[in-house]
Amino acid sequence: MPKRQAPEISLRKQPKQARSADLVTVILDAAVQVLEAEGAQRFTTARVADRAGVSVGSLYQYFPNKAAILFRLQLEEWQQTTDMLRAILKDPSIPPMSRLRNLVHAFIRSECEEAAVRGALSDAAPLYRDAPETQAARARGQEIYRVFIAEILPGFGEERRETVQEIVTASLSELGRRFSEQSRTDREIRDYSDALADMLVAYLESLNSF
């Protein structure tokens, strides 16, 4: 049986003029609105074009299909997360465990504020999950975690640090996703973030005590 060809996910052409860049921004903003209103299952290029107030032909000048739009939104979300990781975890003026606490609070709040779009993008992940661009984007975030874990566990071997990193990142990702599935108050977000931060800090400090 022939292998199913993956959809094209790169921009058809790069916007070089301000007018073209503005059009791409309008299309992406409309895509977010369609995702929030319709979800990934009902997400189509026609709905995005209609919401953006442009023709489908104009949309196709830049995005060959809906997978390309969704992937562009996912890349932007990953870049925002990576920038947040870098700004928090690489700040040498703050003690490592305080950095981790700050990260947990920022991450959980971000998950809650963008739950609708992130949930829809997660549903659409099979469209671009195996793309090289996807692997590269994820690797950048994981590298920041790797350096942070190496800083707080300098006496551990690489294999053991990788296990610790997986536990920390999986806990953040999965627990954040579950918590954000319901609408939350500011107080609930703070309390949950405090509890999750306490758990992760206690875990990492216990490793250093042996």
Q: What is the pLDDT of residue 18?
A: 58
Ramachandran bin of 175, using left for φ above 0, alpha for ψ from -120 to 50, beta for the remaining angles: alpha
Q: What is the pLDDT of residue 20?
A: 73
Ramachandran bin of 184, using left for φ above 0, alpha for ψ from -120 to 50, beta for the remaining angles: beta
Residues of the chain under the 70 pLDDT cut: 1-19, 123-124, 127, 210
32-64, pLDDT tens digit by residue?
899 888 877 888 999 999 999 999 999 998 898
Q: What is the pLDDT of residue 197?
A: 97
Q: What is the pLDDT of residue 13?
A: 54
Q: What is the pLDDT of residue 160?
A: 95
Q: What is the pLDDT of residue 42?
A: 85
Distance between CA atoms of residues 100 and 106, nearest Å: 10
Q: What is the pLDDT of residue 141?
A: 86
CA of 145: how far to CAs of 3, 86, 148, 161, in Å?
35, 9, 5, 10
pTM: 0.77
Angle between the N-to-C axes of helices 115-124 and 96-113, in degrees from 0 to 180, rounded to the nearest 10? 80
Q: What is the pLDDT of residue 15?
A: 56
